[in-house]
Amino acid sequence: MWYVYLLRCADNSLYTGITISLERRLIEHNECNKKGAKYTRVRRPVHLAYSEPQPNRQEASRREYQLKKLTKAKKEQLVHAYLENSKNKK
């Protein structure tokens, strides 16, 4: 299973990426200077703001491309809905 994710950076920006392990990738973005993205290295700490599962890498990459084209306002709507949905499941 692949995941598309959005990270909330310390400067309140959003970073979009794909991975097969959200937990590992979050650690890499926050702690590893070689495996973390250049963008997030200078905007630490980062927190998971949104994720969605995808069946394979191709679909994850396709969805990542779609999310990267969204405006910041549209991304914020996705994050808000995701967080609300997460609260309601608890």
Q: Which of 25, 22, 5, 23 is nearest to 14 (CA)?
A: 5
**Cβ–Cβ under 8 Å, residues 24 and 5:** no
Provide the whole-model pTM. Answer: 0.93
Q: Which of 27, 26, 2, 23 is nearest to 15 (CA)?
A: 26
pLDDT at site 90: 63
Tens digit of pLDDT for each residue in 35-48? 999 999 999 999 99
Phi–psi pair at 23, nearest 5 degrees: -60, -50
**Cβ–Cβ under 8 Å, residues 12 and 63:** no
Q: What residues make up the domain containing 13?
A: 2-89
Task: Residue 58: give its domain's CATH number.
Answer: 3.40.1440.10
Domain count of the fold of the chain: 1
